[in-house]
Amino acid sequence: MLNRRDILRLTAAGASLAFMPIARAADGTPVRGGHLVSIVVPEPQNLGIAVSNPTIVIAANIFDGLVTYDAASQPRPQLAESWEQSADGRTITFRLRKGVKWHDGTPFTSADVKYSILEVVKKTHPRGIGTYRHLEDIETPDDHTAIFKLALPSPVIWSGLSSNETQILPKHLYEGTDPLTNPFNTKPIGTGPFVFKEWVRGSHVTLEHNPDYWDAGKPYLDKITFKVVPDAGARAAALETGEVQYIPLSPVPLSDVARLARQPGITVETRGWEAVAPIYFFDFNLRRKPFQDVRVRRAIAHAIDRRALAQTVWYDFAVPATSSVPSSQKQFHAPGLPQYEYDPKKAEALLDEAGLKRGADGVRLRFNHLNIPYGDDYKRSGEFIRQQLKRIGIEVELVNYDLPTFLRKVYTDYDFDTQSVFYAALSDPQLGVQRRFWTKAIQPGSAWSNASGYSNPEFDAVVAEAAVEPDVEKRRALLARFQLIAQTDLPSISLLELKPFRVWSSSLKGVDVSPVGVYASLGSAWLAPSGGKG
């Protein structure tokens, strides 16, 4: 009998939990055709500007990046066939692939690269504003050459060139518009292996095979339908009945994983999230007076039992975080940082010291708390936090919005007291972590950025120095300082390092299990003869 401990051991090792034999085509080669049915939750806000998980897992099939990444996180050709960097690190020349067409038939050129990065990614992407901070211009001497001109070397650029970070958009459809509200965000035109067919709100998104894809012979599938199924139990049932073959995000109830892993023909796969490295954290809105006192922030940190949260809510598909940079990023993670161990008595003493005494009703402080609307696990986490804080005299009102409302409340209106959310830490702290704390990441309307309003000149100075430091050891030391400042000032509490997984039918082959596989396209995926729809 497979028990939870067995699952946790395999998960920690990054192994696949595929316990049943996988059927193969007679000669072991990909089979062409078939209709793959997937599920995405929650429903994306748009499909054209890929900054949130539901958008990325669909958009990765529609848009290609300049590069993709291999199992060692090294860049590999995609829209760019080759590249070279100058000795001083201030010029990067990309040779673009010839013969690539946008899905409307327009040729892809270097002008699309220049427009997308300088006018969209650098200005609107919550991570792009940092990644491309020192990029001054992109020269386009011909249609198939893009030359990045940087004021200073920028090591982080090499971690952010894939489609989920640096999305290349069609200039001829976006130029002269507000890219965030462009109508092609809901009917996207890309260069990727699948072409957008339809989006029926509240129901599904359908993509079809791109017959003109530059990677000859791909994709293998005829069609992909991404259904919107909010109920986790219904998602598991759809997978078991064969109605659905692939669920990449919040696939099934965590309590149901052990049972599901025993089912014939089902694969539970933990690989594909390593480079995403999601960190779940509790954010304070520092525009609210009570949270401007670091003693209050530290008190709340001491009041949350992160180990119990990982075990009881997340079924050990998470571990307590000790820094804003996950421990899996061994080259950057800083040991020996200040920690806020679970200690309700210390929490109460800090609140007393901050002048927040218990009232006649036993309450010291009241505030609201917004949960990221990515499923029941996050709602249960919010309830766990609410119960923990009640013990020290804090009353928390939990608020659950749909995704568009959540994004507007948190990142545009800043109309919240606290929130709990996860961000992808990604392969470099200046790609995925810096945006939580950097002053320049306070960008109203830019999702998944600095929502707390934290601004510290010392932190910003470390960020600026690390961004251009070519020496690996010196940069590592700067990023350790980065973590120390964040963990001491505590504008947000790093709660958990999440350990997600994907679930799919064992008839589905060729799914990318590289460290960033969850964000990769399904261009190499295929259905064995026994599986699929349509």
Would you say 174 and 113 are in contact if contact means Cβ atoms under 8 Å apart? no
At residue 438, the pLDDT reads 96
For 247-298, how does the pLDDT look when each residue is reduced to its tens digit (9 = 90+)? 999 888 899 898 988 888 999 999 999 989 999 999 999 999 999 999 999 9
Q: Where are the beta strands (DSSP E) in 285-441?
A: 318-320, 365-371, 394-399, 418-424
In the predicted model, is pLDDT for residue 151 greater than 80? yes
pLDDT at 127: 86
Predicted local confidence at residue 150, as pLDDT: 96
Residues of the chain with CATH 3.10.105.10: 278-498
The pLDDT assigned to 13 comes to 40
From-to residues of CATH 3.40.190.10 in the chain: 4-61+192-274+500-527
Backbone φ/ψ region at 180: left (φ over 0), alpha (ψ -120 to 50), beta: alpha
Q: What is the mean pLDDT of residues 79-84?
A: 98
**Cα(364)–Cα(356) distance, integer angstroms:** 5
Cα separation of 328 and 270, whole Å? 14
Range(s) within the chain of domains with CATH label 3.90.76.10: 67-172
Specify the amino acid at residue 110. S
Class of CATH domain 4-61+192-274+500-527: alpha beta
Q: What is the DSSP string of 445-465?
A: T-SSS--S----HHHHHHHHH
Evaluate if residue 3 carries a pLDDT over 80: no
The mean predicted confidence, pLDDT, of the chain is 92
| pLDDT at position 534 | 40
Cis peptide before 155 (omega within 30 of 0): no
Q: Angle at Cα 526 formed by Cα 523 and Cα 532, nearest 5°?
A: 125
Per the CATH hierarchy, to which homologous superfamily does domain 278-498 belong? Dipeptide-binding Protein; Domain 3 (3.10.105.10)
Model confidence at 18: pLDDT above 50? no
In the predicted model, is pLDDT for residue 135 greater than 90?
yes
pLDDT at 24 over 70: no
What pLDDT score does 530 carry?
Answer: 65
| pLDDT, tens digit (0-9, with 9 covering 90-100), for 457-507 | 999 999 999 998 989 999 999 999 999 999 999 999 999 999 999 999 999
309 CA to centre of own chain:
21
Buried b (16+ CB within 10 A) or exposed e, 3-39: eeeebbebbeebebbebeeeeeeeeeebbeebbbbbb
Superfamily of domain 67-172 in the CATH hierarchy: Dipeptide-binding Protein; Domain 1 (3.90.76.10)
* DSSP track, 228-252: ----HHHHHHHHHHTS--EE-SS-S
